[in-house]
């Protein structure tokens, strides 16, 4: 090869390098030619995480990947910015389908996908008239004929707490916040007796017999169990004013008093919140009874005849007046929802499921950074059905179950495109509870208690 030939070859290769290097660099950085829009653009990617594992992923009808065996996740790259029809499938399961957007140099995520079996099997576990889940979701109280039984879902142990006697009827049961005690309201010959029992079945501070509030002679109107094992907070009317008192039911004495003309009250740990007829909400402490704090700079327009309920989730305080819901912001209650029948907090306390007649909503109490992102106070409409929706039961912070008429459903909270809602069985007037340990849905219907197969969520 002559010197001239070598020189020509060198400059030819150099020119090719200069021409191709930028293209290779742009390709490596995710740039592609969008022939439809006639532009050079960066691509995006999809990240999926699903239960169960080994789920097939199709995009725009074309199979692209299968989630891995260990974590059920996968990343698939090089998608031009636009909308895509995504479908996740597995034999024997309902598909998960959604239209998702890809934007430049961004990963679109769906990390909480659950595929439910097409047919869910249930087994009968017993009979019960009513059930009361514990606050920690680890126990169930069951009214079985004339008995009240505590079912420890972690150990499987069942403990008899109360046996019905002649002329007695169990009116209501209230859990203590620590899930260790319950307050029983028992009607007997037109009188209401209140007893405190420990769900372990062991003797309480009052000895072999349950502690009771008989020393108050029926003057108490509402009772909430305090964190201390021998104390409760009650409301009673003295003269013409309804006040609050902390009582020690072991020593049978009154310890502290609060309030004037109290309309409603609630305990959260050692903190006591109550609404007075003046429209002021007051925060007090059981550990420092003389310390009060006024929470409202603008009094709430309270009405004596209206039913009220105070709710607290994390650092958020809410007030429910009838079916209207208000959130405390900057010293005043702001209306955020109407026609609310039931309110259920998510397991992580970041959002509330609101059920009202035939509608379901999600109210965000904190910013949700992961996709789909939401800001605090965002109220997101999920679905509307033809029948009244019962109180939802959270399974994870991103999935819940609910009943509508005689149908039970599972639903996600991902509101991008449409919701994926799956039928979970037919039951008459179902009451639902999620057994976290067994990954099973418990259904009380028409006196029968049933548990689903393990769903692996």
Digit-coded pLDDT (tens) for 202-237: 777 887 778 889 899 888 899 999 999 899 999 998
Structure confidence at residue 17 (pLDDT): 47
CA angle at 193 for the pair 192 and 194, rounded to the nearest 5°: 120
Percentage with pLDDT > 70 across the chain: 92
Can you give the residue ranges of every domain in the chain?
Answer: 43-114, 220-338
Q: Which of 5-19, 185-199, 250-264, 330-344 has the lowest mean pLDDT?
A: 5-19
Higher pLDDT, residue 400 or 203: 400
Q: How far apart are CA 175 and CA 168, in angstroms?
A: 20
Per-residue pLDDT reduced to its tens digit, 41-70: 888 999 999 999 999 999 999 999 999 999
What is the mean pLDDT of the segment spanning 227-248?
A: 92
Q: Mean pLDDT throughout 120-124?
A: 96
**Tens-place pLDDT, residues 348-383:** 999 999 998 899 999 999 999 999 999 999 999 999
| Among 164, 221, 166, 230, residue whose Cα is nearest residue 192 | 221
Both tokens of 429, joined, read 């007037």
What single DSSP character describes residue 323? T
CATH tag, 220-338: 2.130.10.10
pLDDT > 50? residue 25 = no
Residue 209: what pLDDT? 77
Give the span between the Cα atoms of 87 and 277, in whole angstroms: 55
Average pLDDT over residues 313-336: 95
Residue 33's pLDDT is what? 52
- Are the C-beta atoms of residues 47 and 109 closer than 8 Å to each other? yes
Instruction: Report how far residue 43's alpha carbon sits from residue 34's, in angstroms, rounded to the nearest whole number.
Output: 9
**Residue 301 CB burial class (10 angstroms; 0-12, 13-18, ≥19):** exposed
Q: Give the integer Cα–Cα distance in Å for 247 and 225.
A: 10
pTM: 0.89
Rama region for 36: left / alpha / beta (φ>0; ψ in -120 to 50; rest):
alpha
- Does residue 8 carry a pLDDT above 80? no
The pLDDT, as a whole number, for residue 12 is 58
Strands lying side by side in the sheet with 440-445? 122-127, 448-452, 440-445, 431-435
| Domain spanning 43-114, CATH class | mainly beta
Percent of the chain with pLDDT over 90: 79
pLDDT category at 21 given cuts 50, 70, 90 is: very low
């Amino acid at each position: 090869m002559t010197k001239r030939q070598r020189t020509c070859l060198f400059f030819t290769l150099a020119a090719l390098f200069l021409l191709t290097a930028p293209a290779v660099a742009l390709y490596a950085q995710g740039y592609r030619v969008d022939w439809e829009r006639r532009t050079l653009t960066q691509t995006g990617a999809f990240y999926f995480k699903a239960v169960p594992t080994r789920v097939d992923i199709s995009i725009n009808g074309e199979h692209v990947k299968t989630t891995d065996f260990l974590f059920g996740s996968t990343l698939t790259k090089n998608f031009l910015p636009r909308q895509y029809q995504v479908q996740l499938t597995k034999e024997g399961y309902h598909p998960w389908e959604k239209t998702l957007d890809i934007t430049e140099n961004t990963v679109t995520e769906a990390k909480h996908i659950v595929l439910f079996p097409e047919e869910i099997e249930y087994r009968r576990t017993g009979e019960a008239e009513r059930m009361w889940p514990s606050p920690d979701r680890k126990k169930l109280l069951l009214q079985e004929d004339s008995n009240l039984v505590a079912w420890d879902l972690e150990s499987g142990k069942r403990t008899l707490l109360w046996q019905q006697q002649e002329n007695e009827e169990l009116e209501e049961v209230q859990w203590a916040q620590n899930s260790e005690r319950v307050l029983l309201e028992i009607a007997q010959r037109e009188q209401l007796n209140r007893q405190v029992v420990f769900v372990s079945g062991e003797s309480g501070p009052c000895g072999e017999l349950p502690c009771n509030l008989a020393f108050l002679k029926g003057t108490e109107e509402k009772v909430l169990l305090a964190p201390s094992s021998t104390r409760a907070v009650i409301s009673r009317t003295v003269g013409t004013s309804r006040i609050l008192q902390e009582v020690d039911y072991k020593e049978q004495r009154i310890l502290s008093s609060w309030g004037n003309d109290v309309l409603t009250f609630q305990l959260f740990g050692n903190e006591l919140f109550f609404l007075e007829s003046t429209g002021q909400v007051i925060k007090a402490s059981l550990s420092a009874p003389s310390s009060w704090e006024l929470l409202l700079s603008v009094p709430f327009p309270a009405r004596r005849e209206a039913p009220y309920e105070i709710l607290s989730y994390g650092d958020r305080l809410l007030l429910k007046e009838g079916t209207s819901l208000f959130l405390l912001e900057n010293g005043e209650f702001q209306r955020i929802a109407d026609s609310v029948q039931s309110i259920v907090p998510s397991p992580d306390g970041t959002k509330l499921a609101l059920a009202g007649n035939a509608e379901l909503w999600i109210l965000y109490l904190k910013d949700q950074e992961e996709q789909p992102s939401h800001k605090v106070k965002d109220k997101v409409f999920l679905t509307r059905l033809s029948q009244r929706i019962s109180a939802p039961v959270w399974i994870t912070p991103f999935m819940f179950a609910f009943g509508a008429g005689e149908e039970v459903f599972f639903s996600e909270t991902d509101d991008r495109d449409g919701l994926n809602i799956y039928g979970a069985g037919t039951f008459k007037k179902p009451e639902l509870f999620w057994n976290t340990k067994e990954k099973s849905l418990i259904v009380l219907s028409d006196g029968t208690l049933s548990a689903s197969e393990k769903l692996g969520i």
